[in-house]
Amino acid sequence: MSRLRDALAGRRFFVTGATGFLGTALVERLLRAVPDSEVVLLIRPGRRATPGQRATREILRNDCFDRLRGELGASFDDEMARRVAAVAGDVGTDGLGLDDAALDALSRCDVVIHAAATVSFDAPLDAAVEVNLLGPSRVAAAFVAARALAEADGRAGPRHFLPVSTAYVASTHQGEAREELLDANPFIVDVDWRSEVTAARRQRGDTEAESRRPERLARFSKAARDELGAAGLHLLAERSERLREDWVKAQLVEVGQARAQSLGWPDAYPYTKALGERALVAEYGDTVPLTIIRPSIIESALAEPRPGWIRGFRMAEPIIISYARGLLREFPGVPEGVTDVIPVDLVVAAIVAVAGEALLTPADEYVGPSVYQVASGVRNPFRYGRLVELVSAWFLEHPLYDTDGQPIVVPEWSFPGRGRVQRQLARSSRAMGMAERLVGSLPIRGKQAQWMAALEEQHLLADRALGYVELYGAYTETDALYRVDRLLALWERMDADDRAVLCLDPAAIDWAVYVREIHLPSVVEHARVKTTPGKSTKTGRAERTRKAVLSPDRHLAAFDLENTLIASNVVDSYAWLASRHLAPGERVAFVADLVAEAPALLALDRRDRGDFLRSFYRRYEGAPADRLRDDAFELFHHLLLAKSFPAGMARVREHRALGHRTLLITGALDLVVEPLRPLFDDIVCARLGEADGRLTGRLEQLPPIGEARAIVLAEYAGAEGLHLEESMAYADSASDLPMLEAVGFPVAVNPEAKLAAIARRRGWLVETWHKAEGGANPLLPLGPVDHRGALDRGRTSPAALAGRARRLARGVTR
């Protein structure tokens, strides 16, 4: 006999939050354990997916359903189509955003289960208020509207409402928290929830306004430029706006935590959940039959649908993996304190059992809102010290391995205070931030620039560890105990058949077995960390990406020139051409002037590449065009070829051999890159005006820079019938970020520090190419001596030539 499941058989359930961890497990259990049950899922439409598509992709295809899929076999899809429906809606919107059809679907349900929540402990205050505080009341209002619709149709409509809250609404203070409404808890500060909603919404407006003050916008713009360099106005604007949005979010998170802690809660999650309970009971406690479910910290499944099933990382997993990788050497906590975690399948079983109990209770016996807590701390306490022992021992037996295949020895925790750990991590974060800024300011590239990327990653890990301590430290130091008397009374009333299917007794957990044999293996599997010794025999990411780049399926390969294919730049080319016909003695003044200008030229180049090229190329004014074209081939032979990267040139040829179009996009002059033309299908470069056989010093064709490179690339691909998502771009600088982002396969070559960090974050292919060994490596790129005249063929005296060269070096018009 299955008293509860018989009461639920054939019933319809309306479920919110089904795409989340708890919601997915709940839907699976209802469909598998409750005969002929049906579920209606409230799902927010995606940008490119309907609620039904999201239900299929994010819920039914999740491995949580593997057991049910195996039981149903070939009939699984048909059975799910018959028993599962999805309607569009959003608990963060008044009225849930339900249309008439969705409201009608709700009116035909028997039980409403509200599992949607902003579960992040560091959610912005206003977001947590809209979902966690107001969400339950919005669902209750829809419950009332659906019941009225059903009654007008002569139907019963929804009968019971089960909102899922958290045990931590009772705070983390020392002592026992009973299964009772918050109004009966003397330790909870009484605040007006309406005022909190108004204040949170006003805080959003005030913070948005503050973020738009000119001085703040200037800081965001500067930070974007510091991060991306001369990446172009569009990307810099995008990054600046993202930094503004991140700042607003951080401020709202900080305000939420401060407000929660001022009222006795550790963070905004239990604070908004607590006020959500109060608002729900105050507004609908007399009109909507409801039972509040309060789980503690929900973790991986004990047995259902399979041991260790988990969706996404919960609270403990990031901390455990960081510890196992040797990144988190200390974490605050009280060894004697209780770590109140509960497997997800016990929470699901409790929800289903409470729903069955509610349907078995006659309407005239309903006595008002009630609470069930699903927690382990009283019934089966799990001490924090014991948890650390089990985790430490397991990773000593099953260590993770570093990139060199060596085992990582986990540190021994000393259970320090939260304040000490926070101070240590904060100091480490500040030191890494300073080092990051220092390295980022150095003109390094290639493998040396990887220091920047590695340093940035370590900084990120330090900040993440600090975040874990700030967010979760209060939960490892809590002395609160959450009683489960009503839950155990329900367990006692359940018959043997229901108990076999709906285990909700925390005493069923053997913590040593759960941690060592169920939870930790599952956590490690989902973390995708290295668990075997020795060097990995699997193909690395770089090799897999390189193979994809060199696939015949690709379309177009676009290359930058400077520091991508050759270790040279426009200043080198100018110095070689300008000094080509100077006498050795006259070169001294030329070199001195050019070296003196180097810092200013570098600063202008970093600030605005277009301004730099326009300014620098004016130095060619009056130069004989034919002589320069002749000299350009000598330049290629004596300088550019010697400074070229053979691997880069080979890569261009490899793309051509594969049938890919090859395109060179460079700021160099056309006459300089002319010898490279046979290597490429097309070249986009700079071209100076010409009058009476002499260069004007004014650009007739400004080479594309920043966003313009991405536009040129898109136009070229469109004209040639090529697809950018199947194309490659090779570049060395963050200023080329728009071009790199425009293609499906970006490649950072000998990247400068900023680009190296970006490439590492985004998982791009990074190539390190070198000049050929044995070639000449002059200190300065000066052309071989030719006494026939500098840039100006035989029309001036040697003294005039020297002055001319100096003026050209300064950009002075003759």
Q: What is the pLDDT of residues 742-783, one digit of tens each?
A: 999 999 999 888 888 888 888 899 999 988 776 556 555 665
Q: How confident is the model at residue 639 (pLDDT cuts 50, 70, 90)?
A: confident
Stretch 102-127: mean pLDDT: 91
Helix axes 233-262, 707-720, angle to 10 degrees: 120
Answer yes or no: is pLDDT of 499 > 70.
yes
Answer yes or no: is pLDDT of 478 > 80.
no
| Cα-based torsion angle of the residue sequence 782, 785, 787, 790 in order, rounded to the nearest 10 degrees | -10
Q: What is the pLDDT of residues 375-389, one digit of tens each?
A: 999 999 998 889 888
Answer yes or no: is pLDDT of 808 > 70.
no
The verdict on residue 463 lying in a domain is: yes
Per-chain mean pLDDT for the chain: 85
The verdict on residue 330 lying in a domain is: yes
The verdict on residue 597 lying in a domain is: yes
Domain count, the chain: 3
Residue 113 has a pLDDT of 98
Residue 714 has a pLDDT of 93
Stretch 323-339: mean pLDDT: 76
- Same domain? For 625 and 607 the reply is yes
- Same domain? For 628 and 752 the reply is yes
378: left (phi over 0), alpha (psi -120 to 50) or beta: alpha
Question: Could you give the C-alpha distances from 172 to 70, 71, 166, 265, 480, in angstroms and in order?
Answer: 42, 43, 12, 7, 5
In this predicted model, which residue has the larger pLDDT, 411 or 34? 34
Residue 576 has a pLDDT of 85
Residue 790 has a pLDDT of 46
Answer yes or no: are the C-beta atoms of 570 and 648 closer than 8 Å. Answer: no
- Same domain? For 428 and 498 the reply is no
In a 10 Å sphere around its CB, with 0-12 CB exposed, 13-18 middle and 19+ buried, how is residue 586 labelled? buried
CATH number at residue 82: 3.40.50.720
State the pTM of this model. 0.79
- Same domain? For 632 and 559 the reply is yes
Q: Structural domain of residue 758, as residue ranges? A: 547-782+800-813
- Same domain? For 69 and 167 the reply is yes
Q: How confident is the model at residue 802 (pLDDT cuts 50, 70, 90)?
A: very low
Residue 704 has a pLDDT of 84
Residue 472 has a pLDDT of 65
- Same domain? For 671 and 741 the reply is yes
- Same domain? For 629 and 772 the reply is yes
- Same domain? For 666 and 807 the reply is yes
96: left (phi over 0), alpha (psi -120 to 50) or beta: left
Residue keyed to tokens 């009333």 = 493
The verdict on residue 62 lying in a domain is: yes
Q: How confident is the model at residue 799 (pLDDT cuts 50, 70, 90)?
A: very low
Answer yes or no: is pLDDT of 514 > 70.
yes
Strands 291-295 and 556-559: unpaired
- Same domain? For 328 and 356 the reply is no
Residue 305 has a pLDDT of 95
Most confident of the ranges 394-408, 663-677, 700-714, 782-796: 663-677
Residue 167 has a pLDDT of 94
Q: How confident is the model at residue 813 (pLDDT cuts 50, 70, 90)?
A: very low
Answer yes or no: is pLDDT of 215 > 70.
yes
Tally of residues, the chain? 814
User: Among 45-59, 83-97, 120-134, 409-423, which is the least confidently predicted range?
Assistant: 409-423
Residue 804 has a pLDDT of 38
CATH number at residue 702: 3.40.50.1000
CA distance linking residue 577 with residue 632, whole number of Å? 8
The verdict on residue 395 lying in a domain is: yes
Q: How confident is the model at residue 784 (pLDDT cuts 50, 70, 90)?
A: low
The verdict on residue 143 lying in a domain is: yes
Residue 780 has a pLDDT of 56
Q: Which helix (H) or strand (E) holds 480?
A: strand 480-482
- Same domain? For 346 and 386 the reply is no
The verdict on residue 345 lying in a domain is: yes
CA distance linking residue 805 with residue 807, whole number of Å? 5
Q: What is the pLDDT of residues 604-634, one digit of tens each?
A: 776 777 778 888 888 888 899 998 888 888 8
User: Among 176-190, 360-374, 506-520, which is the least confidently predicted range?
Assistant: 176-190
- Same domain? For 578 and 457 the reply is no
The verdict on residue 208 lying in a domain is: no
- % of the chain surpassing 70 pLDDT: 85
In this predicted model, which residue has the larger pLDDT, 409 or 305? 305
Question: Could you give the C-alpha distances from 176 to 261, 511, 541, 813, in angstroms and in order?
Answer: 20, 22, 51, 86
- Same domain? For 356 and 458 the reply is no
Q: How confident is the model at residue 317 (pLDDT cuts 50, 70, 90)?
A: confident
Q: What are phi and psi of 512, to 5 degrees?
A: -65, -45
Answer yes or no: are the C-beta atoms of 668 and 561 closer than 8 Å. Answer: yes
In this predicted model, which residue has the larger pLDDT, 412 or 86? 86
Q: Which helix (H) or strand (E) holds 527?
A: helix 520-527
Answer yes or no: is pLDDT of 208 > 80.
yes
